[in-house]
Amino acid sequence: MTFPQSAGPSGPLIAKLLLEIEAVHLRPNAPFTLTSGRLSPVYIDCRKIISFPLARNKVMDLAQQKVEQVIGFAGIDAIAGGETAGIPYAAFLSDRMHLPMLYIRKKPKGFGRDAQIEGELKEGQRVLLIEDLATDGGSKVNFIEAIRKAGGRIAHTLVIFHYGIFPQSTKILAEMGVNLHGLATWRDIYDVAIAQHLLNEDEAASIKAFLENPEDWKKPC
């Protein structure tokens, strides 16, 4: 595998912001266990952004710019957030862009209307799914299928942070006809961390090894 690519102009800004609010954790000698069971020397908590008004405003500025640049001003009719981390971002962005907001449950409620999508989704509406982050892309599949089942159309999903190290994250969604857009990747975090001297030589080497080959990464001896 290769080192992840930057997300573009927004990447360094988002990376600096996430490091400043301590949403990024770099711990090669005491790795984290991810949901998948993988060991990881890095961890990011994008949910933390909502507690920092200046930071979240900058993130949403960049999110709106990304949408306007890659999808266009008239390319979407509604913005949906996935349960639970995507809901606040859908609220922030839909308010800025004066668009209807929806949110999508991981599964139907199981009572009442048995709804999986909350809000009004009209037949044929073009929906942008927004989430806090994407690792391997698997969690997005459920939300995309729910939108389409309810009669919506979806060709784009936006995340604040895209790991950028698991090729299947874009492959899975591409096979569904959906483009994944991220504001920052681990490449951006790594570059800023190095520039700010947040890692010693051994830590930098260990994290770089993980980013280049996360499937085979092992804790340093």
Buried b (16+ CB within 10 A) or exposed e, 20-43: ebebbebebeebeeeeeebebbbe
In this model, does residue 52 exceed pLDDT 70?
yes
Question: Whole-structure pTM over 0.95, yes or no?
Answer: no
Range 8-32 average pLDDT: 95
Within 10 A of 112 (CB to CB), how many other CB atoms are there? 7
Which residues are paired to 180 by β-bridges?
A: 157
Within 10 A of 204 (CB to CB), how many other CB atoms are there? 17
The more confidently predicted of residues 162 and 107 is 162
pLDDT tens, position by position, 121-132: 999 999 999 999
Structure tokens at 113: 């209307």
pLDDT tens, position by position, 22-50: 999 998 889 998 777 778 999 999 999 99
What pLDDT shows up at residue 1? 59
pLDDT tens, position by position, 125-156: 999 999 999 987 788 999 999 999 999 999 99
In this model, does residue 112 exceed pLDDT 80?
no
What pLDDT shows up at residue 139? 85
In this model, does residue 78 exceed pLDDT 70?
yes
SS3 32: strand
10-216: CATH architecture: 3-Layer(aba) Sandwich (3.40)
